[in-house]
């Protein structure tokens, strides 16, 4: 981590900093003043406003700027933050992001003049997609996940394909079906291949979730100009929780030779609050780790800053029957973004190594995050080992894969000594029958 990235050099990360918004000072809150994530919500006049989460409230930046509470901002920042999406603001670049963060932190800090009229209760906000996503690429960056899947489907061979440890493997997803947390997911139909007969068309039977994170690209690179590792972090705006819903039976039949297609294009859920890289800087680590015998990494992928993000994540399931019986959701998995074999900066450097142009708001998914323990496996395919080890739910039923009425909730947070605990909120989706 460079000196300019050191948390002690940034007053907005001071763990002793407090806000005049009292809920932001409560232990365990996801959104203390050291976080300040961005999102977009439906304002009372029906338009979409950019907001910042603070405790259990949301600071309406449109009103804060028009009210002159943030009058020290440069005009390009003020204009961008009065928009209906974050794309223009993200495109301004890291210097402008930090200027805005420090002004917002000063406005919300204890000792500043309170402006409660600029706040909206977070629970009353109808959240929107925070950005217009032009392109979406999902990666396959967890060695543990790739190894588990490889052992299931290639038990007699090397679980990892020859290229896996040499480059970040990914596929281009479908941005049109990325949805914000809370949006229902309808069970997809598709072409299925029974073991003992010809293919048929019908509803997915092996519906799964994937515990992931998503990274939003900030400033663009022109077509033909790659982003080197030394500059990659300056192009990263922030991260969200991501659930890449997956139709495993559709995927099994279609994926060769070009990889996922309809099995992945029907829905991808993201959490509504983008936690910025500035807020995450206390949780950056060196790495990622390589194991003895791994091939030497090519120079264009070698880390030059601390790019591993130490973010914890959990997955909870609640069946329709559990909710009817007032049973709490059951945690089925936990993991860490630090378990990835390839970082978001390496994904970005590799993605643009051909000169591929990235634009503000483009989304890169991490791929399923799995650890070394069974309870750290990031999808039902792994947790139940292709359905051979079902999960027992508190309502007396079992799960090999998701059933209609199941609600999945993913949460994420960061904590370490000497820094304020911050969270990413939650990403929730409920499975509904096919339309």
| In the predicted structure, residue 4 carries a pLDDT above the cut 80 | no
Q: What was the pLDDT predicted at 201? A: 98
Which residue among the candidates 145, 235, 350, 351 is catalytic per the annotation?
145
Residue 6 pLDDT level (bands cut at 50, 70, 90): very low
Question: How far does Cα 108 stand from its chain's mean position?
Answer: 26
**Spatial distance between the Cα atoms of 83 and 291, rounded to a whole number of angstroms:** 46
Identify the pLDDT of residue 283: 98
| pLDDT of res. 71 | 82
Mean pLDDT value across residues 111-119? 97
pLDDT at 157: 85
pLDDT digits (tens, 9 = 90+) for 353-394: 999 999 999 999 999 999 999 999 999 999 999 999 999 999
pLDDT at 76 over 50: yes
| Statement: residue 100 has pLDDT above 90 | yes
Proportion of the chain above pLDDT 90, given as a percent = 94
H or E, element range at 174:
none
Share of the chain above pLDDT 70, in %: 98
What pLDDT was estimated at residue 256?
87
CB-count exposure of residue 276 (10 Å: 0-12, 13-18, 19+): buried
Report how far apart, in Å, the C-alpha atoms of 427 and of each of 45, 210, 270, 316 are: 26, 12, 6, 10
Confidence band (pLDDT; 50, 70, 90) for 95? very high
Is pLDDT above 80 for 295?
yes
Q: What is the structure's pLDDT at 9?
A: 75
Q: Tell me, what's the pLDDT at 90?
A: 98
Q: For residue 343, give the 3-state DSSP assignment.
A: coil
pLDDT recorded at residue 217: 98
Q: CA 412 to CA 130: how far, in whole Å?
A: 18
Confidence of residue 345 (pLDDT cuts 50, 70, 90): very high
| Residue 7 banded pLDDT, cuts 50, 70, 90 | very low
Say if residue 419's pLDDT is above 90. yes
CA distance 181 to 410: 10
Residue 14 and residue 418: Cα distance in Å, rounded? Answer: 9
Collapsed DSSP state (helix, strand, coil) of residue 50: strand
pTM for this entry: 0.96
Whole-number average pLDDT of the chain: 96
Domains with residue ranges and CATH for the chain: 3-128 (2.30.30.230), 136-432 (3.90.850.10)
Identify whether 62 is a catalytic site residue: no
For 101-111, how does the pLDDT look when each residue is reduced to its tens digit (9 = 90+)?
A: 999 999 999 99
Mean pLDDT of 21-49: 97
How large is the average pLDDT for residues 129-140? Answer: 98
How far apart CA 360 and CA 241 sit, in angstroms, is 18
How confident is the model over 235-248, as a mean pLDDT?
A: 98
Strand-strand pairing, 178-180 and 268-270: parallel
Q: Inform me whether the pLDDT recorded for 26 exceeds 70.
A: yes
Interatomic CA distance for residues 386 and 248, integer angstroms: 9
User: How far apart are the C-alpha atoms of 236 and 308, rounded to whole Å?
Assistant: 13
């Amino acid at each position: 981590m460079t000196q300019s990235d050191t948390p002690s050099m940034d007053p907005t990360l001071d763990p002793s900093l407090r806000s005049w918004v009292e809920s932001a000072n409560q232990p365990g809150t996801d959104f203390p003043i050291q976080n300040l994530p961005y999102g977009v919500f439906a304002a009372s006049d029906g338009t979409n406003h950019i907001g910042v989460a603070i405790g259990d409230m949301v600071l309406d930046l449109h009103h804060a700027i028009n009210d002159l509470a943030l009058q020290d901002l440069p005009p390009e920042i003020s204009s961008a933050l009065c928009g209906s999406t974050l794309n223009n603001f993200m495109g301004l670049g890291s210097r402008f992001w930090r200027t805005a963060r420090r002004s917002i932190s000063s406005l919300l800090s204890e000792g500043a003049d309170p402006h409660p009229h600029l706040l909206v209760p977070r629970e009353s906000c109808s959240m929107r997609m925070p950005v217009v996503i032009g392109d979406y690429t999902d990666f396959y960056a967890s060695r543990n996940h790739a190894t588990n899947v490889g052992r299931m489907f290639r038990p007699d061979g090397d679980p990892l394909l020859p290229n896996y440890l040499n480059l970040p493997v990914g596929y281009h997803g479908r941005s049109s079906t990325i949805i914000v947390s809370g949006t229902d997911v309808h069970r997809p139909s598709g072409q299925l291949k029974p073991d003992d007969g010809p293919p048929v068309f019908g509803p997915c039977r092996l519906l799964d979730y994937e515990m992931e994170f998503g990274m939003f690209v900030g400033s663009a690179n022109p077509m033909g100009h790659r982003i080197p590792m030394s500059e990659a972090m300056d192009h990263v705006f922030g991260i969200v929780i991501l659930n890449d819903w997956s139709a495993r039976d559709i995927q099994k039949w279609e994926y060769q030779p070009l990889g996922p297609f309809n099995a992945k294009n029907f829905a991808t859920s993201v959490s509504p609050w983008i936690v910025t890289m500035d807020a995450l800087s206390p949780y950056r680590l060196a790495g990622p780790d390589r194991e003895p015998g791994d091939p030497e990494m090519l120079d264009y992928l070698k880390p030059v800053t601390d790019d591993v993000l130490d973010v914890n994540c959990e997955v909870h399931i609640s069946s329709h029957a559990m909710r009817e019986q007032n049973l709490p959701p059951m945690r089925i998995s936990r993991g860490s973004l630090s378990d990835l074999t390839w970082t978001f900066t390496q994904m970005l450097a590799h993605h643009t190594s051909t000169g591929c142009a990235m634009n503000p708001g483009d989304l890169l998914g991490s791929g399923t995050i799995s650890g070394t323990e069974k309870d750290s496996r990031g999808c039902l395919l792994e947790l139940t080992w292709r359905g051979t080890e079902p999960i027992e739910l508190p309502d007396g039923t079992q799960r090999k894969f998701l059933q209609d009425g199941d609600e999945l909730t993913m949460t994420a947070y960061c904590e370490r000594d000497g820094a304020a605990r911050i969270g990413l909120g939650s990403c929730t989706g409920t499975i509904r029958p096919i339309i």
